[in-house]
Amino acid sequence: MTFQITAFKHFALGILILVVGAGAAQASEPKLLSTHDAWSAYTFKENGNTVCYMAATPIKEEGNYTRRGKIYALITHRPAEGSKNVFSYITGYPYKDGSEATLDISGTKFKLFTQDESAWAPDADMDNRIANAVRKGSRMVVKGTSRRGTLTTDTFSLKGSSAAHEAITKACN
């Protein structure tokens, strides 16, 4: 039963990444590279190029909501585009228009811009700083406000994030 749930979780995450990350691009189904405690590493082909990402789900979700979709934190490498360490956050609800999400990684704070159900760092420098903090930290907390005004707080374990990052970096070297 646990294997089926884990397999479904990986399949659902893979489909989510294809829809959100690849858009209209031609992409293969993600392949699980490895799992490291709270984080998993994946790879897939997009328009013939290798894409690697690591992902986690929260260990704690807080907010006064009745329904919410899946929640993921991701760091993605797209070597063919010259991008690496791109942090993205899928919150499971549409953010309030014009709002920011806040990210606290073991006491280091970042502001993310939001659009629809996602949040990102504003530039590559902040992506790199976030990826470094994720690899070295122990806990990550993301706060945001939904379009309906609901404040949410999601807490992630960062255990295994360093090993997952090493796996995606090696796969997309």
**Whole-number Å distance between alpha carbons of 90 and 73:** 6
Q: Side by side, which strands form the sheet with 151-157?
A: 31-36, 39-46, 49-56, 72-78, 83-90, 118-120, 108-115, 100-105, 139-145, 151-157, 60-63
pLDDT > 70? residue 25 = no
Q: How many domains does the chain have?
A: 1
Q: In this predicted model, what pLDDT tens digit does every residue of 144-162 receive, in sequence order?
A: 999 999 999 999 999 999 9
Specify the DSSP element, H or E, that contains 17: helix 2-22
CATH of the domain at 93: 2.60.40.1880
Give the per-residue pLDDT at 9.
44
pLDDT bin (cut points 50, 70, 90) of residue 65 is: confident
Contact 110, 132 (CB under 8 A): no
- The pLDDT, as a whole number, for residue 130 is 98
Tokens of 73: 């934190």
**Cα distance between residue 97 and residue 113, in whole Å:** 10
Amino acid 173: pLDDT: 84
Range of the domain at 138: 2-171
**Residue 115 and residue 101: Cα distance in Å, rounded?**
10
What percentage of residues in the chain have a pLDDT greater than 90?
A: 80
pLDDT band at 15 (very low <50, low <70, confident <90, very high): very low
Give the residue from 165, 70, 172, 171 showing the smallest Cα distance to 127. 165
Structure tokens at 154: 């999601």
Whether the predicted pLDDT of 18 surpasses 80: no
CA gap 30, 70 in Å, rounded: 17
- Give the pLDDT band of residue 118 (cuts 50, 70, 90): very high
φ and ψ at residue 70, rounded to 5 degrees: -70, 150
pLDDT of residue 14: 47
